[in-house]
Amino acid sequence: MSSTTHRLCEGRVVIVTGAGRGLGRAHALAHAAEGARVVVNDLGVGLDGTPDPDSPAAQVVEEIRAGGGDAIAHGADIATTEGAASLVHTALETYGRLDTLVNNAGFLRDRMLVNLDEDDWDAVIRVHLKGHFLPLKHAAAHWRAETKAGRPPTARIVNTSSGAGLLGSVGQSNYSAAKAGIVGLTLVAAAELARYGVQVNAIAPAARTRMTEGVFTETMTAPGTGFDTMAPENVSPLVVWLGSAASEGVTGRVFETEGGRITVMEGWRPGPTTDKQSRWSPTDAGETVRKLLAEAQPPGQVYGSG
């Protein structure tokens, strides 16, 4: 772990979901390196959500403790009310407080739309979207109670969306819909929870993990530097900063991050418009739309459609 001097998260308690591997593991280790005490949540399942006998959460806890940090494992299903409530309870019971929630857990069940089973749709929406909502709800209820008790927190939530949720991704309609839903959830939560001292942001990361190993199959290095641009550890510094008190005033934002690049994503905004001040006929509406589209910026390309 880094020196105890000027550590960004000194004294803070951080929950990271899906923290046994990949991005979640990197986030947990990075928070611990900056002085946070970490609740390492991982259900210990395979890439498709089926049980994995080797739950990795305890291994990450041991890594943190071996480096002089403090962490505890949590293995419940955070896409259930009971699991999400126990997650927050574990932080409060173990460390007496909660400061940051990093929602990261997820898995994939990719199919082309016409081949996608209802169960695969439900499973991905459940884990990604419901698995964000329930921990957020229970953490926010705690912070609201703290505010009403005269102890306003400096609380942070960092959600995990994806480029698939911002642009779409061929073969991932369930995943894309869930990740787009997380952006909407982030915006609403940021607006509703500001009064309780809670800031809510989202990241759309690109990194080499189990979920992306079919895309980023090899180490990708920046020319002349040897810098592995797809390492999950590259994403974590932004997550740590967003989860710290240093990010004061930053809320309701979505950041795309990959390698050494950070981009503020700008969402739906009004483009070219016209108002007839009366009802359109279908033909006139169509002609007008074509004129407006000629003035508009083209949409971003859906991943995998090129």
Task: Return the higher-pLDDT residue of 14 and 53.
Answer: 14
CA distances from 224 to 10, 119, 220, 227 (A): 35, 46, 12, 8
User: How far apart, in whole angstroms, are the C-alpha atoms of residue 235 and residue 269?
Assistant: 27
Domains, the chain, in order of start with CATH, read: 13-265 (3.40.50.720)
User: How far apart, in whole angstroms, are the C-alpha atoms of residue 273 and residue 275?
Assistant: 7
Based on its alpha-carbon atoms, the radius of gyration of the chain, rounded to whole angstroms, reads 21
Which amino acid makes up residue 272?
P
Is 291 one of the catalytic residues? no
Buried b (16+ CB within 10 A) or exposed e, 189-206: bbeebeebbbbbbbbbbb
Residue 306 clears pLDDT 90, i.e. is over it: no
The pLDDT of residue 230: 85
pLDDT digits (tens, 9 = 90+) for 140-153: 999 999 999 999 99
Task: Write the DSSP string, 96-165.
Answer: S---EEE--------B-GGG--HHHHHHHHIIIIIHHHHHHHHHHHHHHHHHHTT----EEEEEE--HHH
Is 175 one of the catalytic residues? yes
Q: Which residues pair with 102 in a beta bridge?
A: 16, 158
The pLDDT of residue 202: 98
Residue 220 clears pLDDT 70, i.e. is over it: no
Residue 163 phi/psi, 5° resolution? -55, -30
What mean pLDDT do residues 59-80 have?
96
**Alpha helix stretches (DSSP H) within 34-128:** 57-66, 81-95, 118-125
Which candidate in 179, 196, 247, 303 is catalytic?
A: 179
The pLDDT of residue 110: 85
In the chain, pLDDT over 90 holds for what percent of residues? 81
The pLDDT of residue 52: 57
Residue 216 banded pLDDT, cuts 50, 70, 90: very low
The pLDDT of residue 215: 46
User: How far apart, in whole angstroms, are the C-alpha atoms of residue 185 and residue 189?
Assistant: 6
What mean pLDDT do residues 198-214 have?
78
Averaged pLDDT score across all residues of the chain:
91
Is 95 one of the catalytic residues? no
Which candidate in 86, 130, 161, 162 is catalytic?
A: 162
Residue 229 banded pLDDT, cuts 50, 70, 90: confident
The pLDDT of residue 3: 45
pLDDT digits (tens, 9 = 90+) for 85-97: 999 999 999 999 9
pTM exceeding 0.75? yes
pLDDT digits (tens, 9 = 90+) for 253-305: 999 999 999 999 998 999 999 999 999 999 999 999 999 999 999 999 999 98
Which candidate in 86, 161, 175, 247 is catalytic?
A: 175
